[in-house]
Each structure stands twice: as structure tokens, then as C-alpha cells.
Structure 1
Amino acid sequence: MKGVALYFFVTAVLAVTGGMIWGIQMSATGNHMLAGAHAHLNLVGWATMALFGIYYHLTPAASEAALAKIHYGVALAGLVIMVPGIVQAIRQTGETMAKIGSVLTLLSMVIFLVTVLIHARRTT
């Protein structure tokens, strides 16, 4: 694994490691107030980023396209803005970051859809 596939996969492993530590901390303290943010870190950070990485590993032509690097940047920005934003929303200190991060995460998925469609046509 190399290039953008590796970037996605390393990000995924970092996210799940952080998510596990956070989950243990919530369990140890009995305070699960931020469970929604924790869940998004694991789902978007681990599952989604890992799946992106696997796709790019299995589709080298897609991983070499400039759009793949844009995809990684948008996906990473979405994750690092959305999760703290959800924490802020839960704590009722603002929702702007959660909204911006959510839109970036959605945009990341649209970029992925376009990537999959472009490269599906090329392989058939």
C-alpha cells in the first residue's frame, strides 16, 4: 500500500486508536455524554477512511489521479472539523463546526462517488 491509499489507511488507524482510547475513558468515568462524537470518529474516521484506502489500493488508476489527493484533503478536513464540532454541539457551545465538517464529509463522499463512477467506466 502506498500513496493516497496509505494516507487514508493510516488516518483510519489513528482515528480508531483515538476512538478506542476515548471509549475506554468514557467507560471508566461512566460519562457517555459525548458518545455521538465518539461514534462519528469511529464510523467516519475508521470505517469510511479505511474503505477509501482499500478502494484506492485496489484501484491504482484512481489513486494516481489528482482527484484522489483532493478527496483525501476534503475527507480529512471533514473529519477533524466535524468530530470536535459535534462535541461543541453536544455541549451547546456552537454548531458551526459540526455543520461545516458534516458538509465537507458529505462532499468527500460525493467526490468518492464521482471517482468510483469514473474508474468503473474505464475498467468495463
Structure 2
Amino acid sequence: MFIGTAVIYVIVGMIGGIMMGAKQDFTLAPAHAHLNLIGWVSLALMGFYYNANPAKAASRLALIQFWVSTIGLWIMIPGLVLTLKGLPPGERIVILGSLITLIGMVLFAVSIFRPVPSTR
């Protein structure tokens, strides 16, 4: 789930990067960077972690963390695009998305540091 979603984000990010290059308009470069770093890199790393730790991957926390991270990014990136284009509601939207994305990362940290329950 994490890695598959990350691959979708990198494809979208690459298409956006190619379009910026073709137009020589790099106004949206910060949105492109955030999509690639959070969407591609962070989600892929989370996916690799969960693949190496199947007991944690099967947890409810991992599922919640995936959706919180994903929804945060879905809100953050459009908000960042609006902000970069100078449209007023963008700042509030990007702040909301950023905070939700941060919560997703905190949940990931909790997942990492929480011990795996014993099956005895």
C-alpha cells in the first residue's frame, strides 16, 4: 500500500517536473519538491520499514498512519499550489495539510518505537 502509493506520487511528480521544464516556468517547484519528498521518498521509506516488520504492517496503527499521511498530502499539495499562485485560501489549506502530514509522521514514529506485542 505505501510503496504502490509512493510510485503513483513519483509518477505525478515527474510529470509535473517535465511540464515545468517544458514551459520553463518553475513557479510550482516547491509543490513538486514536497510531492516527491513526502509522497515518494517518505512513503516509500515507510513502506520498506513495514515490509521489513510485517507484524507492525498488519497493525491498525499502520493503516491509520497511511491514511493520515496520504490525506495530509492530498490537502497540502493543492494548498501549496494555491499559495504559490498567490491565491489567499492557499495558506490556510497548506497549513492544515502540513499539520495532518506531521500527525502522520508522528504516528509513524509511534509505530517504530512501540514494541511488537508478543504472541505467547
Which bracket does the TM-score occupy, shorter chain normalised?
Answer: over 0.9
In structure 1, stretches of 5+ residues that fail to align are 1-6
After TM superposition, the score normalised by the length of structure 1 is 0.89
Q: 2 CA distance for matches of 1:56 and 1:119?
A: 14
- Tell me by how many angstroms 1:83 deviates: 0.6
Q: Which of structure 1's runs of 4+ aligned residues deviate more than 4 A?
A: none
Task: Report matched runs for 1:1-124 at 5 Å.
Answer: 7-93=1-87, 94=89, 95-119=91-115
Report the 3-state secondary structure (helix = DSSP H, G, I; strand = E; otherwise coil) of the residue aligned with 2:86: coil
How much is the aligned-residue C-alpha RMSD, in angstroms? 1.4
Which one-letter code corresponds to 1:35 in the other structure?
Answer: A
Report the 3-state secondary structure (helix = DSSP H, G, I; strand = E; otherwise coil) of the residue aligned with 1:119: coil
Matched residue pairs, number?
A: 116
- Tell me by how many angstroms 1:92 deviates: 1.8
Q: % of aligned pairs identical? A: 43
Flag the structure with higher helix content: 1
- Tell me by how many angstroms 1:119 deviates: 3.4
In structure 2, stretches of 5+ residues that fail to align are none
